[in-house]
Structure 1
Amino acid sequence: MQSVSVLNKSYINGEWVEGKSENTLEITNPYDGSVIASVRLATKQQVEDAFTLASEAQKEWAKSTVEERRAVLHKAAEYLNNNREEIVKTIGLETGGSVLKSNVELHLALEFLEESIKYADEVGKIREVPAVGDKLNHIHRLPLGVVSSISPFNFPLNLSMRTIAPAIALGNSVVHKPDVQVGLSGGSIIAKAFEYAGLPKGVLNVILTDINEIGDAMLTNRHAKLISFTGSSAVGRHIGAIAGQNLKRVALELGGNSPFVVLSDADVDQAVNAAIFGKFIHQGQICMIINRIIVHKDKYDQFVEKFVERAKAIPYGDQTDPSTIIGPLINEKQMNRALQFIEDAKAEGATVALEGQRIGNVLTPYVFTGVDNSSKLAQSELFAPIATIIKAESDEEAIAIANDTEAGLSSAIFTSDLKKGEELALQVDAGMTHINDQTVNDAPNIPFGGNKSSGLGRFGNPWVVEEFTVTKWVSIQTKDRQYPF
């Protein structure tokens, strides 16, 4: 893989171009602040130009054969596999993610890319439906057009590829803006993979810039047929409002407040194992992360004791050390936000079962017990290694508490009665519920998405096909039709 000094530019119309803004941004390692790359930001005009070029390129790409699209996707996957070590290193340095997390992220990105190969043939299919009289009804599936893609800082490679791969597989073009503070793993590496794969110029454009520079240019451009966004619910509402005004499609994967429910008949040891992983992987900076642990009163004390002991022992520090589990938070803003949640929780009267500490930009685990589900701590998406444990008087109350949130992304239930677990899973108002597992699960062949304020639309095969294509009815009158007047 080329050095980051080469990949620190936007990729527009098949060329690596310097941003034309007067502003630059340094991509830094969140652990020690060392500079990874310096990026000259792209301007609003460059974004507009990218959309125009993408629109022209898409018209030709829509005519590509299934074999051509699959060949490009295979070659892009080949690039990621051939450069695995360097990519994992870059993900870790940019995001602050552990070696484990960075490897998981690359694995997921490859899964989404490889899955897209399977449904590349959905475009161009013709389905015949019954008709009355001398008529044929053909239903065609066509590419949607230009997709506007915006991805976050936490899993930038995976969450970018989740949009880019299906869009390209289905004959669309893409203008993609990663969070610039992780612009290499969220954008440049993907652009390099598709450049290596021989994707025609203009089909994928990666813009390294930020909102202060371009405003709503990724949302309002007339060429954008769909806005795919992963991030906060607040920003998702803003995108939804603009998309509604302009009658654009959206695929929104937004914030979560995932409940982890431990019922009265649960295996406490295994529940603790799952909760430790599902709360503290990537410092809690995942939309699906366990945000509230809800435990039946009969298991509460036992669970808290074992969970706290395990949390105390989690290795933390420099994310490049293979033994590290908890690395740095992404930036100072996120650290200050986490520290404020801690102070507010203490002021609200929550019990500190485990007092963490700030060490540079690393926050070690905090555990709060006696948490009220109506509190700010329980109702906020924490995005930090802060665990909240809530006592439930009954299994029924545990499910009610789980649902008492505006969010509805992921959830989990621990029980020894699998039939009961699935019945209760259907009562949880969330897009996903995992029985006897933690909340952070993803796969390319499941309907990934949330309910309520956690988003609109579903990723995963085959659901993403519907999101990223348009259907058209063509009727064919085979004999002259007789009209009543």
Structure 2
Amino acid sequence: MNTQTNIIEQVWKEHIFQGDWIRTDNITKDIKNPATGETISSVQFASIDDVNRSVEIAVEAQKTWKNTTFEVRAKILRKAAQLFEENIQTFIDWNVQECGSTLLKAGWEANACIEQLYMASSMPMSASGEIFPSSIPGKTNVWQRVPLGVVGVISPWNFPLLLSIRSIAPALAMGNSVILKPSEFSNITGGALLAWLFHNAGLAAGNFQVLSGESQIGEALVGHPQVNMISFTGSTGVGKKIAETCAKQLKKCALELGGNNAMIICEDADLDIAVNNAVWGTFLHQGQICMQTGRHLVHRSVADAYIQKLKDKAIALKVGDPSHPETQLGPLINASQHEKVCQIVENAVAQGAILECGGRGENLFFHPAVVTHIQKEDPIFTDEIFGPVAPVLIFDDISEAIEIVNASKYGLAVAIHTQRTAWAFELAKEIKSGMIHINDQTVNNEYHVPFGGMGESGYGGRFGGPANFDEFSQRQWVSILDKGIQYPL
């Protein structure tokens, strides 16, 4: 561990971060390693009073922050990127031991965060508005972006760094203050380390705060009338509740929710490439990704070969302690999630499905599973599993496959494997999904490209690239007349 973060660890065990480290006598939460069950640290939880106080602090801090020059905001975000890079191993180590990430996944996530921070650092110096013509001589119409105010970010445990920073960084860049509520399963990786990062990057106190806690802390943040926007990544069920609360206050919310993403394997697909993609899309981070390939639709003519290749690859994957370099799948995040995945697979088998390989392991481990002979109505195929499970369904005609894909309540990502790329591009228009990837897999994220889903996978908003400007600001029309005019009344 980096010396600086060893020192700061003694602080987060006794303090909450409200722009500065504030000592409290609140509840202490033990942090356990999901691979070993070992207690590795502890963190202070916030109270409802702390939420109210943090909002007050953020409102006041934002009054100054919104008027800082673009050079100042850009410099702080660049400094955060540099600090992250200098301390990258610390972020990786905590992601591995707190969240069960493998070294491969944790390293990828850390480098993605650095890219996100650098990309956000360019936002403050971009054009802040547009000029529209007027029918009135001498009048100028300016349509400009202005900050929202206080932005609440509620982030998940599966990618606790990236899915926090993708909202925090652009929100700060646009002149907002931010209060982060990390998942209770990633309080350090997705919370305390980010407090350390932005504090040491020179961000003025109060413009970024971290409040750890259980669901009532998130609910208080969402319901607070002076929090002007909520950015949430997590389950569809929780997202619906957040949307309802925000709607009652006419508060903006950006929601990236669940998914049950399909990969369509056509009769002319390159099966070796398709299976390689399927293994990555299905089993990366133990399948605990909203974009996970959760449904495999395979043309009957290639189904036997595809299933055999997928099974062979799954069996060869190494499951174990994620801190070991050779490990490819670590543990599931907690006992509840482990039992959920086990029950879904075991119930499917009890109803006639065939478990080709994998299944329940010891403690929180689950071996990558391939499940065949399922029906399109089976929960193992219709529900988001959030585990390393590949349910395979056979189709005979592409129209049948599209109908099955579109029947899902989700609409996050779909992959199509075929040699007919122009045909697949046209086919994409018929698919209800926010993202379509041809000859690739569903776990895709390029930070300059807007990202988001349809149906119960999202709420119309998008993260990334140009979408960040409008997502984390609001528009204001200012008209200017050098000399006032006379109206006829």
TM range (shorter): over 0.9
Which residue of structure 2 aligns with residue 278 of structure 1? 281
Q: Tell me which amino acid in the other structure corresponds to 2:431.
A: V
Q: Structure 2 residue aligned with 1:473, among 468, 472, 477?
A: 477
SS at structure 1 position matched to 2:144? strand
Corresponding position of 1:217: 220
The residue aligned with 2:381 is 378
Does the alignment pair 1:5 with 2:10? Answer: yes
Match of 1:329 among 313, 328, 332: 332
Tell me, yes or no, if structure 1 residue 366 matches structure 2 residue 369.
yes
Equivalence map 1:59-208=2 (5 Å) = 59-122=63-126, 125-134=128-137, 135-208=139-212
Matched-pair contact (CA < 8 Å) for 1:11–1:191: no
Q: Tell me the distance in 2 between the aligned counterparts of 1:226 and 1:204.
A: 14
What's the CA shift for 1:120? 1.6
Q: For residue 364 of structure 1, give the secondary structure of its aligned residue in structure 2.
A: strand
Task: Give the 5 Å matches for 1:342-421.
Answer: 342-421=345-424
Indicate the RMSD between aligned Cα atoms, in angstroms. Answer: 1.4
* CA distance in structure 1 between the partners assigned to 2:17 and 2:347 by the alignment: 45
Distance (Å, rounded) in 2 between the aligned partners of 1:404 and 1:393: 17
Residue aligning to 2:316: 313
- Partner Cα separation in structure 1 for residue 401 and residue 149 of structure 2: 45
Q: For 1:167, what is the secondary structure of its paired residue?
A: helix
Match of 1:50 among 41, 47, 54: 54
TM-score (norm 1): 0.97
Q: Answer whether contact 1:253 1:449 (CA < 8 A) is retained.
A: yes
Instruction: Output the CA distance in 1 between the equivalents of 2:252 and 2:405.
Output: 30
The answer to whether the Cα contact below 8 Å between 1:176 and 1:206 also exists between their aligned partners in 2 is yes
Change (3 A) 1:264 1:180: same
- 2:32 corresponds in structure 1 to 28
Q: Which residue, 12, 17, 20 being the options, matches 2:22? A: 17
- CA contact 2:271–2:306 (8 Å) conserved in 1: yes
- Tell me how far 1:9 sits from its aligned partner: 5.5
Q: Structure 2: state its 5+ residue gaps.
A: none
Preserved CA contact (<8 Å) 1:119 1:461: no
Which range moves more in the overlay, 53-62 or 7-16? 7-16
Tell me if the contact between 2:345 and 2:359 (Cα under 8 Å) persists in the aligned partners: no
Q: Does residue 459 of structure 2 align to residue 452 of structure 1? A: no
Partner Cα distance (1:101, 1:7) in 2: 25
**Alpha-carbon offset, residue 180 of structure 1:** 2.4
Work out whether 1:229 is the aligned partner of 2:232: yes
Cα deviation, 1:229-258, whole Å, max 9, x if unaligned, reads: 000000000000000001100000000000
Q: 1:412 to 1:9 in 2, by over 3 A?
A: farther
1 CA distance for matches of 2:317 and 2:247? 45
Pick the aligned partner of 2:254 from 251, 254, 268: 251
The share of aligned pairs that are identical, in percent, is 39
Pairwise mapping of residues 433-444 of structure 1 onto structure 2 (< 5 A)?
A: 433-444=436-447
SS at match of 1:387: strand
Q: Summarize the Cα distance change of 1:189–1:205 in structure 2 as closer, same or farther, 3 Å threshold.
A: same
What letter matches 2:347 in structure 1?
Answer: D
* Mapped partners of 2:355, 2:252: distance in 1: 45
In structure 2, distance between residues paired with 1:9 and 1:101: 30
Aligned-partner Cα distance in 2 for 1:8–1:423: 55
Partners of 1:137 and 1:473 within 8 A in 2: yes
Deviations 1:19-54 (A, max 9, x none): 443x32111100011112112311010011111100
CA contact (8 A) 1:18 1:40 kept: no
Find the residue that maps to 2:402 and give its secondary structure.
Answer: helix
Separation (CA, whole Å) in 2 of partners of 1:8 and 1:255: 32
Cα gap change, 1:472 to 1:10, in 2 (>3 Å): farther
Q: CA deviation at 1:128?
A: 1.5
> What CA deviation, in whole Å up to 9, does each residue of 1:45-93 have, x standing for no partner?
0011111100110110000000000110011011100111121111111
Q: 1:477: how far off?
A: 2.4
> Aligned-pair distance for 1:155?
0.3
Contact 2:18 2:210 in 1 (8 A): no
Tell me, what secondary structure is at the counterpart of 2:21?
strand
Provide the C-alpha distance between the structure 1 equivalents of 2:56 and 2:17, rounded to a whole number of angstroms: 11
> TM-score, with normalisation over the residues of structure 2?
0.96
Q: CA deviation at 1:6?
A: 3.2
Contact 1:72 1:198 in 2 (8 A): yes
Paired letter, 2:180: H
Query: What is the CA-CA distance between 1:11 and the residue it aligns to?
Result: 4.6
**Letter matched to residue 180 of structure 1:** E
